[in-house]
Amino acid sequence: MKDKYFPILSNDKINIKEYFEEMGDLRIFKKGDILSHPEAPIDGINYIVRGNVDAYLMSSDGRKKSVGIEMPGCILGDVGAFDGEFQPVYYKALTQIETRFISKSDLKTVLDNYPCIKDYVLSSLCSKVRMLAGQLGQSCFSDAETKVSKLLLQFAYYFGGNNNHNGLRLICFPISQQSISDLAGINRVTVAKILANFKEDGLIERVEGMYSINIDEMEKLVALLELS
């Protein structure tokens, strides 16, 4: 075990982000790189410092189903690192990615010495369970329009920035009809029709190639979720 993993004496003073940034090994991935796949053994965890990662499943005939987008602060590889099995999803860099890596052999010692990091990793696992449960619920009980509404609101929350000039909340992240289709689990033609209807109703716009939500009309998208 490397001594560098124990620079802090008091568990109460640990800043999780700073700990991973300072103590983990730097790894850089280019846009489009596959960070991990189900056939690859898990040798440790990666803490995302910068960039966004697509987590998705692939069928034997090549069909893709996105299960979520991992952002800075998320941990990759935590599932396989604990149960010794392969990682269940693919991880692909949507942008250039910077992570900090801690090997599987060192991880146990880190968790034993710093309970707050153990809590953080457990929270990461819990968030993945909630994400999958939410997707299962949507798949079983929500119609296509509701699924797209929820995704747009989530994108606006996590990647949005207000444009005070025209009352829009710009989604500062390159999303396409195909990416919405992958995440919502509905075909792209249906997504295109729903987005066209939303645009006609004044709920969304396209600004410089990116989607934006009309802030004054946002409650209508929320209402669609409440009806589901």
User: What per-residue confidence (pLDDT) applies to 228?
Assistant: 52
- Alpha helices (runs of H) in the chain, residue ranges in sequence order: 16-23, 78-83, 104-113, 115-141, 144-159, 177-184, 188-200, 218-227
Burial of 166 (0-12, 13-18, 19+ CB in 10 A): exposed
Q: How much is the average pLDDT of 198-220? A: 80
Q: How much is the average pLDDT of 127-146? A: 85
- Which of 110, 121, 116 lies closest to 7 in space, CA to CA? 110
The lowest-confidence range among 5-9, 40-44, 198-202 is 5-9
**CA 189/CA 147 separation, integer angstroms:** 14
Query: Which of 87-91, 165-169, 204-208 has the highest mean predicted lDDT (pLDDT)?
Result: 87-91
- Which of 69, 76, 73, 74 lies closest to 94 in space, CA to CA? 69
Q: How much is the average pLDDT of 3-11? A: 41
Query: Cβ distance 68 to 124 under 8 Å?
Result: no
User: What per-residue confidence (pLDDT) applies to 225?
Assistant: 63
What domains does the chain contain, in order, with CATH numbers?
A: 3-139 (2.60.120.10), 142-227 (1.10.10.10)
Give this prediction's pTM.
0.79
